[in-house]
Chains A and B, each alone.
Chain A
């Protein structure tokens, strides 16, 4: 079914992780689609890329990047874009996404999704670069709201307003990460419901769900556990407002067996129903700080 931006609603998808390669190829599980971290495959010409080709022949695939650095003041990296475009020509993804962030300047890469001050200058800068990238890739870019751990005194726009204007100016789509909205709202004192209400719902092509780690005074977007009830509730609201979108569950740390991962994804079906009540209370555990995800690094040992 074709929905917004001429892009299909792919249904319920999972992140493609190397730990699950063999299971997917052997069992051909009934998953609607897979999302791959683009950088894991762009420069790999070994087994991972070969497996991606096999999976892309059997399932719809979306390419999700972590290094486009759309907000950086360094020049766009056209070597990166060339490699991204080449991979896209091979696997024919339904779309290509990345984050509203910067990863480094002066040619350094922090490998983190760093937040931008949200103001007229950064908006103009990001929009110019999105347009250049879309022209080069010859397709709309889908931009994800990042999880943030800081906000800036020179911000003059709320993130949802920034996203709305950005989509209007560039024609790009949105990847609404509901968990990121929750994490950022907790860390930066804004109302996540106001955020969900404020984004341009008609531009939401895809949604992300993930687990996070509550460290007491702040939350880290770890992608290493089940989705919390608060995030499920936000998802329920966002899904109604967006009126359908492809949904994907991210899981990048402490990756469980494929069936456990899949069953967590399938919980989202309940929350697509506006009347589903769900669980109100949740036991919060506070533990040692983990690293935020995603990381574009493969476990290679098993292929030796």
Chain B
């Protein structure tokens, strides 16, 4: 215990947090100013003790390194496919900048990346260019998908429901509670699944894609959809009634009723087997 200083706990905590979150003073806030009301303390050495082996600054630096390394590590876990797609260095640069601009304000680390896709959109490297680059849109979509997967995994929903069978009357079919539809400009699902299955996917060319993520007995499953299937399921999710969804679909596509019933019969069979429907 060295030079005695009296710092109100609140001032001390704001000062130390500023040093952790913004070690290079990129926000323009000088942490020393946060000690302006404190007598005998105007620098790191006045607040933090040195030890036999480390200076005060070196003690602080352990926390500074740990702060960014810990949260970067969490971002990396939350967006592992995106990190692979961008490469570690670029991913870390984006993640560090995101964390600096949007420090965590939730005790739950699952929310750490909640605004990352928005951040990428708002900080696109081609923001000043007239012609936008495709790969940036792909990265934004991949970030949205990865974060959404985490949300669906944790979401609160009824679990003790009865799955529909092929014999369930059509008017009793309901989508399972966790059932989220996705439409992308790029084949995001394919890239994501290949990466998660230990593949090394190449960056995808623009090619509209559709999928659904659903959860049954706490396990997530992802299925590709055709555009028409996506449209039909979107109607169903919105309206919750098969008959209405069918009518809306037939109106949109000016479908022949007989032909559509044949297609629907095939979809229904596959989707019931894949746990899309409950009773």
Q: Do A and B bind each other?
A: yes
A residues bordering B, Cβ < 8 Å? 39, 42-47, 50, 67, 69, 71-73, 77, 80, 102-112, 114, 116-117, 121-122, 125, 149-156, 187-189, 217-218, 220, 289, 291-292, 295-297, 299-301, 303-304
1/0 contact string of B86-111 vs chain A (CB within 8 Å): 00000000000000000111111110
A-B pairs with beta carbons under 8 Å apart, 29 shown: A71-B9, A105-B10, A106-B17, A109-B105, A110-B67, A111-B71, A112-B63, A112-B66, A150-B49, A151-B51, A152-B47, A153-B48, A154-B47, A155-B1, A156-B4, A187-B54, A187-B62, A217-B53, A217-B54, A218-B54, A218-B59, A291-B70, A292-B70, A295-B70, A296-B108, A297-B77, A297-B109, A299-B77, A300-B150
Whole-angstrom distance between the Cβ of B230 and the nearest chain A Cβ: 21
Return chain B residues, CB-CB under 8 Å to A296.
Answer: 108-109
Return chain B residues, CB-CB under 8 Å to A109.
Answer: 103-107
B246 at the interface (CB under 8 A from A): no
Interface segment, one of B125-133, B214-222, B234-242, B270-278: B214-222
Chain B residue nearest to A293 in the complex (CB): B70
Complex Cα distance, B13 from A125, in Å, reads 13
Return chain A residues, CB-CB under 8 Å to B149.
Answer: 300, 304
Return chain B residues, CB-CB under 8 Å to A292.
Answer: 66, 70
Whole-angstrom distance between the Cβ of B106 and the nearest chain A Cβ: 6
**Which 7 pairs show the lowest CB-CB distances between chains A and B?**
A45-B156, A47-B218, A67-B107, A150-B59, A217-B53, A149-B62, A73-B10
B269 at the interface (CB under 8 A from A): no
B69 at the interface (CB under 8 A from A): yes
Complex Cα distance, B66 from A220, in Å, reads 10
Contacting pair B59 A107 (CB below 8 A): no
B 1-57 contacts with A by CB, 8 A: 1-10, 12-14, 16-17, 20-21, 41, 46-49, 51-54, 56
Complex Cα distance, B157 from A109, in Å, reads 28
Contacting pair B20 A46 (CB below 8 A): no
**Overall SS of chain A's interface:** loop
Return chain B residues, CB-CB under 8 Å to A150.
Answer: 48-49, 56, 59-60, 62-63
B114 at the interface (CB under 8 A from A): no
Return chain A residues, CB-CB under 8 Å to B71.
Answer: 111
Output the residue of B12, B41, B65, B215 with the most chain A CB within 10 A: B12
Which of A46, A114, A117, A188 sits near B63, CB closer than 8 Å? A114
Contacting pair A110 B17 (CB below 8 A): yes
Whole-angstrom distance between the Cβ of B17 and the nearest chain A Cβ: 6
Return chain A residues, CB-CB under 8 Å to B153.
Answer: 46-47, 300, 303-304
**Apart from the given pairs A43-B154, A46-B155, 13 other A-B contacts in the complex at a CB distance below 8 Å:** A39-B107, A46-B218, A73-B10, A114-B13, A150-B59, A151-B59, A153-B1, A153-B47, A154-B7, A156-B4, A189-B51, A292-B70, A295-B70
What's the count of A-B pairs with C-beta under 8 Å?
A: 172
Whole-angstrom distance between the Cβ of A296 and the nearest chain B Cβ: 6
B123 at the interface (CB under 8 A from A): no
Contacting pair A153 B2 (CB below 8 A): yes
Which of B7, B103, B108, B157 sits near A43, CB closer than 8 Å? B108
Asked if A187 meets B51 with Cβ closer than 8 Å, knowing A117-B7, A303-B218, the reply is yes
Contacting pair A108 B1 (CB below 8 A): no
B73 at the interface (CB under 8 A from A): yes
Contacting pair A153 B13 (CB below 8 A): no
B196 at the interface (CB under 8 A from A): yes
Return chain A residues, CB-CB under 8 Å to B248.
Answer: none
Output the residue of A72, A102, A152 with the most chain B CB within 10 A: A152
Output the residue of B5, B48, B149, B219 with the most chain A CB within 10 A: B48
Return chain B residues, CB-CB under 8 Å to A42.
Answer: 108
Whole-angstrom distance between the Cβ of A128 and the nearest chain B Cβ: 12
Whole-angstrom distance between the Cβ of B134 and the nearest chain A Cβ: 27
Complex Cα distance, B62 from A188, in Å, reads 13
B74 at the interface (CB under 8 A from A): yes
Return chain B residues, CB-CB under 8 Å to A121.
Answer: 8-9
Contacting pair A151 B49 (CB below 8 A): yes
Complex Cα distance, B21 from A303, in Å, reads 33
Contacting pair B21 A108 (CB below 8 A): yes
Whole-angstrom distance between the Cβ of A155 and the nearest chain B Cβ: 6
Return chain B residues, CB-CB under 8 Å to A149.
Answer: 59, 62-63, 66
Contacting pair A152 B62 (CB below 8 A): no
Which of A105, A112, A156, A220 sits near B13, CB closer than 8 Å? A105
Contacting pair A43 B110 (CB below 8 A): yes
Which of A105, A152, A188 sits near B14, CB closer than 8 Å? A105
Chain A residue nearest to B69 in the complex (CB): A291
Return chain B residues, CB-CB under 8 Å to A110.
Answer: 17, 20-21, 67, 103-104
Complex Cα distance, B220 from A292, in Å, reads 31
Contacting pair B104 A111 (CB below 8 A): yes
Complex Cα distance, B13 from A295, in Å, reads 21
Contacting pair B59 A44 (CB below 8 A): no
Return chain A residues, CB-CB under 8 Å to B74.
Answer: 111, 295, 297
Return chain A residues, CB-CB under 8 Å to B106.
Answer: 109
Complex Cα distance, B66 from A153, in Å, reads 22
Complex Cα distance, B136 from A251, in Å, reads 38
Whole-angstrom distance between the Cβ of A218 and the nearest chain B Cβ: 6
